[in-house]
Structure 1
Amino acid sequence: MIQNAEFILPGNRTGVLLIHGLTGTPNEMRIVGRGLNRAGFTVYAMQLAGHCGDEADLNKTTWQDWYKSVEEAAFKLQEQVDHIFVAGLSMGALLSLKLAAEHPEFVKGVGVYGVTFNYDGWSMPLWAKHFFFLLTWLKRFNLFQKTSFLEQPPYGLKDERIRATVAESMASGDSTQAGLAGNPFPALAEMQKLAAIVRKELPKVHSPCLILHSSHDDIADINTNAKVVESNVSAPTKFVPLDDSYHMITIDRQRRQVIEESIDFFEKIVASYALDSNRQQR
């Protein structure tokens, strides 16, 4: 049964939409959300369709369902603020970029956290690195659709204390806390489809992008994921490699740097809009 784990933190007239990753939960965006809210932003950590339930719930959805839930959340936030930024972790970063590509009229900037086009980090098994592209074909022919890729330590976390807490939460079966322990093949296939589409749409992204990615990402290598964004978007970018975290940068050792970089990046964009407005009024 799907539970509602999203949260809204009221603030000023600048909003930040936060998007979690595949099989994840809004909880993985909570620390960043609180940090942004303390800086004054209105924060909405939305919940992707099919998430915060069990694998069967997730497998009933497609990437189109996930993206539709992102759009709906953005429109909901838009009613409360004047400016919208969007930031996502892993697959959430893909969805953030897609929202920016399709809605340049209101997305003022993008936080690209640990973006994942390819599962090719150092902890991924060789078969996953080279054969995940076959998942879409397996789904098309209804093969191995009850199989899951089970996550293994370090679970995207360099901080051992947080890693132990997350592992305990995943084992408890409460998917609202740390998400599912496994990545079902059907859902991974949908993410592969989404990644291919977003890669093609990157030139349509004209909103400034803050790209934060671990140099030691265990899930998604920085060179074949984050740098793809930096090289292909049609927007100014700020690229920040993190050297003391793994994939889950929103909750790992450098989470405070993620918050500080995001606040600085978003505030500068808001200030530039305010300056342009003042000039037009003169």
Structure 2
Amino acid sequence: MLTRLCLLLFTLVVLASCALPPDSPLFQPSDSLPSYDQDSFEQYVSDTHAWIADNRVFLHEDRNLEIELNTPFERRPDEPAKRGILFVHGLGASPWYFADIADALANDGWLVRSILLPGHGSRPADLMLPDFDDWENAVAHHANLLAAEVEELWLGGFSTGGNLVASHALRDDSIAGLLLFSPGFYPDNGYLFLAPFIAYLWDWVDVDEEDNIATYQSLPTRGAALYYRSVSAVQKNLEAMRFEKPVLITMSQHDSVLDPNATLDAFQDRFPNQRSRFVWYGDAPQGLDDPRVTALASHLPDRRISTFSHMNVLFAPENSYYGEKGSHVIFDNGQVDLPLPENSEDLWFGAWGQVAAERYHARLTWNPYFLELLDSIREVSGDG
């Protein structure tokens, strides 16, 4: 067994050695990370905004937009809120991922906050700086800050953020409910446990062109190791206890980085509340008899959509950056044999790695069922 482990580790290190970053500030960490334990959310936002302005390696001319998309934010309803939710983004992502949902929930009367996990918002190399405790402590601190202002506190998370908030909620009985979007409970990668070891030997798992102002494209091994820590923590907590409060979980059948079926099994076993809902984007799982699970077709040829991706659930079709007519398209989607179509009307969309003869697939970055998602949130939270 030890011999096999060493061989696997050696193979991954050799593969990782291909990821040599260019001589760019993007791949050199900042001198420090911003603090996250301010006494007020307002001060936290102000301090983080200033830190991003000083430390971000800007990708485009509109620096203000880049700062805005990576700065923590708050949405307050018109009337004093009794209910609040804290959102936590995923690995390499940004607080802005929740902007569309935050606007809708604030209109429904929620006090909404979205935080920045340490290591994000500036340059990919800054993921080398935080410890896992920084991530857990940031979630706990801001959950406590928000709890002091509302009668009912919910937590929400995307991918790695879903792991962090689920772990927190399983340990904190005061959390009223969860909204989990593509939660990263079960990665579809049997070698992830090696990431902490590789982090001591090599700095980068993946180095890509950085052209996305809301998401890192490159990944240090330290970042992969931190994700592994979040997986270990949430799996341990799920094995030890069940979450009895309402939860919404969404998952794409064709998620390129997670095991959707394992997540569905966990929902049925560890989230028993009858108000809970699991939204499955894809073909209805065979033999499933759980009225809490809704399957929505992810093959929508009339909109040139073949499959749903890991990330698209969060964004409205009208989103100005990731939406159906948004300014940013993720063309680099794991395809190497097909040229980009000359006509944008010939471009299809899907999960990472989606391949089809004579069809070039960009990443799907918006949710055609976004309004239905909001209805599901209202149903689970008791607003429906």
TM-score band, normalised by shorter chain = 0.7 to 0.9
The structure with higher relative contact order (CA 8 Å, sep 6+) is 1
What is the DSSP-based 3-state SS (H/G/I as helix, E as strand, rest coil) of the residue aligned with 1:187? helix
Which residue of the partner structure matches residue 355 of structure 2?
Answer: none
- The offset of 1:119, in angstroms, is 3.4
Which residue of the partner structure matches residue 111 of structure 1?
Answer: 179
- The offset of 1:224, in angstroms, is 2.5
- The offset of 1:150, in angstroms, is 4.8
Task: Please identify runs of 4+ aligned residues in structure 1 that moved more than 3 A.
Answer: 233-237
Q: Is the 8 A contact 1:114 1:226 kept in 2?
A: no
What is the DSSP-based 3-state SS (H/G/I as helix, E as strand, rest coil) of the residue aligned with 2:122? coil
CA–CA distance in structure 2, aligned partners of residues 61 and 38 of structure 1: 35
Q: Which runs of 5+ in 1 are unaligned?
A: 121-128, 152-166, 272-282
More helix per residue: 1
Q: Given the alignment of the two structures, is residue 238 of structure 1 paired with residue 277 of structure 2, yes or no? A: yes
Q: Is the 8 A contact 2:158 2:182 kept in 1?
A: yes
Question: Quick one: which amino acid aligns to residue 119 of structure 2?
Answer: G
- The offset of 1:15, in angstroms, is 0.5
Structure 1 pair 258–149 and aligned structure 2 pair: CA distance change class (3 A):
farther
Which residue of the partner structure matches residue 143 of structure 1?
Answer: 201
CA–CA distance in structure 1, aligned partners of residues 117 and 99 of structure 2: 15
Structure 1 pair 184–118 and aligned structure 2 pair: CA distance change class (3 A):
farther
What is the DSSP-based 3-state SS (H/G/I as helix, E as strand, rest coil) of the residue aligned with 1:23? coil
Which residue of the partner structure matches residue 218 of structure 1?
Answer: 256
Q: Is the 8 A contact 1:211 1:230 kept in 2?
A: no
Question: Quick one: which amino acid aligns to residue 34 of structure 1?
Answer: D
Q: Given the alignment of the two structures, is residue 250 of structure 1 paired with residue 314 of structure 2, yes or no? A: yes
Q: Is the 8 A contact 1:101 1:206 kept in 2?
A: no
Question: Quick one: which amino acid aligns to residue 97 of structure 2?
Answer: E
Which among 177, 195, 200 is matched to residue 236 of structure 2? 200
Which residue of the partner structure matches residue 72 of structure 2?
Answer: 6
CA–CA distance in structure 2, aligned partners of residues 197 and 256 of structure 1: 32
Q: Is the 8 A contact 2:242 2:271 kept in 1?
A: yes
- The offset of 1:229, in angstroms, is 4.0
Structure 1 pair 242–150 and aligned structure 2 pair: CA distance change class (3 A):
farther
Which among 257, 262, 265 is matched to residue 227 of structure 1? 265
CA–CA distance in structure 2, aligned partners of residues 19 and 263 of structure 1: 19
Structure 1 pair 69–178 and aligned structure 2 pair: CA distance change class (3 A):
same
CA–CA distance in structure 1, aligned partners of residues 268 and 92 of structure 2: 26
Tell me how large the CA RMSD over aligned residues is. Answer: 2.2
- The offset of 1:92, in angstroms, is 0.9
Which residue of the partner structure matches residue 277 of structure 1?
Answer: none
Which among 222, 225, 243 is matched to residue 189 of structure 1? 225
Structure 1 pair 196–242 and aligned structure 2 pair: CA distance change class (3 A):
same
Structure 1 pair 255–218 and aligned structure 2 pair: CA distance change class (3 A):
farther
Instruction: Report % sequence identity.
Output: 22
Q: Deviations over 1:111-152 (max 9, x none)?
A: 1210113432xxxxxxxx33222112223xx111x213357x
- The offset of 1:265, in angstroms, is 1.2
Question: Quick one: which amino acid aligns to residue 277 of structure 2?
Answer: K
Structure 1 pair 185–78 and aligned structure 2 pair: CA distance change class (3 A):
same
Which among 120, 126, 134 is matched to residue 57 of structure 1? 126
CA–CA distance in structure 2, aligned partners of residues 91 and 82 of structure 1: 27
CA–CA distance in structure 2, aligned partners of residues 63 and 226 of structure 1: 26
Which residue of the partner structure matches residue 274 of structure 1?
Answer: none
Which residue of the partner structure matches residue 41 of structure 1?
Answer: 110
Alignment coverage as a number of residue pairs:
236
- The offset of 1:209, in angstroms, is 1.6
What is the DSSP-based 3-state SS (H/G/I as helix, E as strand, rest coil) of the residue aligned with 1:263? helix
Given the two structures, how large is their TM-score scaled by the length of structure 1?
A: 0.76
